[in-house]
Every structure is written in C-alpha cells, then in structure tokens.
A = this chain, B = another copy of it.
Amino acid sequence: MELNERKLKILEAIISNYLDTAEPVGSRTISKNYDLGISPATIRNEMSDLEELGFIMQPHTSAGRIPSDKGYRLYVDMILSAKYDSPKHLSYVEALLSKAGRIETLLQDIVAVLAKETNLTAIVSTPQYSKCKIKNIQLIELESQKVLAVIVTDGNMANNYVLEINEDMDQPMLNKLSFILNNQLHGLDVEEINLPLIEKIKAFAGNQDEIIGKVLEVVFQAVHNNEDTQIYTSGAINMLRLPEFSDLEKATSIMETLDKKDYIRQLLLNDFDGESIVTDGVNIKIGSENNNENMKDCSLITTTYHIGGKPLGVIGLIGPKRMDYQSAIFSLKCLIKEIEKRMNDS
C-alpha cells in the first residue's frame, strides 16, 4: 500500500487537529473542518489504511485516531525539511541578555525566556568545561590558609574554587603565582591539564609548588568528575497544565523525571555522541525514540550552541509529543542566534 497524496493530507489533518485539541480525531471532524472534498466514509477507509501503515492508532475500538510515533516522525521530518523563515531578531531578548555578565546567569535567563515563550520545559547545559580554552587564572587571598582560584575560560565562564593550603600567602605573592599559571596554561583546553603537565608546572613554581599543584588538581578532578557541565531547567510546571498529564500519577512521574538533573544531562548530551541524527542543527526525538519509559509521552528538541567554533553546549525543549514543533523549533533557533552572538562577540 502506498502513502499517496490524499492519505498524506488526511494524516496532516489528523495530526494538526490532534495538536490543537488533544482529543482523538474522527472522520467526521476532518470532513467538516478540512476542505478535502471527500465524505467521512471515504476518510474512514483511508484512515483504516493509515492505521495499517502504522502512522495513526486508535486508543480504543470506537474512538477517533491519534498519531503514532511513526506518524509524528513523518510530520516532523516534513517540518524540518521545509524552508524556514530565517530566525527573527528578538530585541527584547537581546535587552534581557545584555544585562547578564556571567555565562551561567545568561543561560539561566535564556531557559527562563524560552520556557515562558514556548510554554514548555527548557533545558540547557553549560559549555563543556573540559573543551574550553583557558583564558585566565587568578588566585585570590581569602583568609589564613585559604585561597580562591578563579579560572576564566572561553565565553567568559568563570569557575571559582576554594583551596586550603598549608601556609599563608599575601595577594602580591598570589599574583606572582597567577602569572606563572597563566604563562603555562593560557590558551590550553581545560582537559589538557593532566598529571604530567601538573608535575611540569609545579617545577616552575619552586617552593610554591604546593598551591600550584592544588589548583591544578582541583581543576583536573572537576573535569573528571562530571562536574563538567551543569544543567539548568525552567518551566517544568508548564507540563502540569497539559491534558496529557491531567492524571496525577503521570504528572508526578514527569515532574520527577524533569527533576533528575543527571538524567536530563545524559538525555541532552546524547547529542554529542554519534547516535542521534542531527538535521539542520536541530535534533528531535519523539516519544519512544528517547528510549526511556518516563519520556515515552514527550518529545525532546535539542540543538547545540558554539563557542569559538566548537559545539560546547546543548539547549533544548521538552514537551508533550503533541507540542507545536514548528514554533518550538523557531523559538529555539532565534534564541540560539542571540546566545551565540553574546558568547562570541569578542
């Protein structure tokens, strides 16, 4: 059996109607509301075929049809392959973002805006720290035997670490050490800090090798402990208002899932390994494609953002499978443009 023109039109009508109403769509509804010029009976025959082809399904015998994951996939692929409006410039976003100095604050603001605009759950990972270039390291005196290390990388990401050391240091001394550290590390990727390098740099520090070693070990460990990327989310409660989660059990379950940062991290960073298909920069996983029971009613839209030409972070949206993909993708594209502009404007 072929998926001819008419079948496709009916499928589109079903999906479009279902996106609006969250109710199974019957033949009569389509005949009335979509100008296809065929009667409900004919539509019923075609629907029967579409079901056999796996694009739609019936919740129960005497109900209308809802799209299957395969149906959504076809629909989404059509959207992705269509020509887009180029992302429009969002001046209010720019205004918002121009206030934020630090990248963490920036990203938190971004997800808040994105969640508000789409009414979905927005998620973002901070740039993969290990792949960032070191811009500057500065040691700051805190108190007796405590020092703050500030490490600034690409995109002006600043990470702070409190170090305990065995002797007192004043700021001029720390400035000298900072100078040594910068000389050795400036321009390196964070992940290039490894044990041999640490030993080598300690040699330069003479009798101040303890503190130098501490700084580098802390960074080394942070990178290897998956404190590498933080996850920020916003708008999880948007899910509670959706009819698909009107059952408390389901609502609780999705909220718990969205609350698990480690799980979300893994979901987001799939984008980085070879498994998933990236189309036009935007990657969509529908329901069961997420390979996870908790996400089977949800879709995930992700895209990467680049710093210095490298894809270092992922930003995405989680919503019901029944979300408005078109506008979600569009919002995401517009925002990513603003982000990258801000992050690379040097």
Q: Tell whether, in the assembled complex, residue A150 and residue B158 are in contact, meaning their CB atoms are under 8 Å apart.
A: yes
- Binary contact track A132-143/B, C-beta < 8 Å → 1, others 0: 000110101111
Query: Contacts A171-B179, A248-B246, A255-B240: A138 and B140 contacting too (C-beta < 8 A)?
Result: yes
Query: Secondary structure of the A side of the interface?
Result: mixed
Q: Which 7 A-B pairs have the closest CB atoms?
A: A101-B162, A143-B346, A240-B252, A138-B140, A158-B160, A175-B175, A237-B255
Task: Judge if A21 is at the interface, Cβ distance under 8 Å.
Answer: no
Query: Contacts A135-B143, A138-B138, A156-B148: A259 and B246 contacting too (C-beta < 8 A)?
Result: no
- Binary contact track A163-190/B, C-beta < 8 Å → 1, others 0: 1000000010001001100100000000
Instruction: Identify which of A146, A162, A259 gathers the most chain B CB atoms within 10 Å of its CB.
Output: A162
Q: Tell whether, in the assembled complex, residue B142 and residue A146 are in contact, meaning their CB atoms are under 8 Å apart.
A: no
Instruction: Identify which of A141, A248, A251 gathers the most chain B CB atoms within 10 Å of its CB.
Output: A248
How many monomers of this chain does the complex have?
A: 2
Residues of A within 8 A of B (CB): 101-102, 135-136, 138, 140-144, 146, 148, 150, 152, 156, 158, 160-163, 171, 175, 178-179, 182, 237, 240-241, 246, 248, 251-252, 255-256, 259, 346
18 contacts between A and B (CB under 8 A): A101-B160, A101-B162, A102-B161, A138-B138, A138-B150, A140-B150, A142-B156, A143-B156, A144-B346, A146-B346, A148-B156, A156-B162, A158-B160, A171-B179, A171-B182, A237-B252, A237-B255, A240-B252
Q: Tell whether, in the assembled complex, residue A136 and residue B251 are in contact, meaning their CB atoms are under 8 Å apart.
A: no
A220 to B56 CA separation, bound complex (whole angstroms): 60
User: Quick one: which of B101, B144, B179, B237 contacts A161, CB cutoff 8 A?
Assistant: B101
**Closest CB in chain B relative to A237 CB, distance in Å:** 5
Residues of B within 8 A of A178 (CB): 171
Q: Tell whether, in the assembled complex, residue A148 and residue B150 are in contact, meaning their CB atoms are under 8 Å apart.
A: yes
Residues of B within 8 A of A256 (CB): 237
A146 to B158 CA separation, bound complex (whole angstroms): 13
- The chain B residue with its CB closest to the CB of A240 is B252
Residues of B within 8 A of A144 (CB): 346
8 extra A-B contacts, CB within 8 A, seeds A140-B158, A240-B251: A101-B163, A135-B143, A136-B148, A142-B156, A148-B158, A150-B160, A237-B256, A248-B248
Instruction: Identify which of A138, A144, A255 gathers the most chain B CB atoms within 10 Å of its CB.
Output: A138
Q: Tell whether, in the assembled complex, residue A102 and residue B251 are in contact, meaning their CB atoms are under 8 Å apart.
A: no
**Closest CB in chain B relative to A263 CB, distance in Å:** 14
Residues of B within 8 A of A240 (CB): 248, 251-252, 255
**Closest CB in chain B relative to A261 CB, distance in Å:** 10
A160 to B179 CA separation, bound complex (whole angstroms): 20
- The chain B residue with its CB closest to the CB of A218 is B101
A113 to B179 CA separation, bound complex (whole angstroms): 39
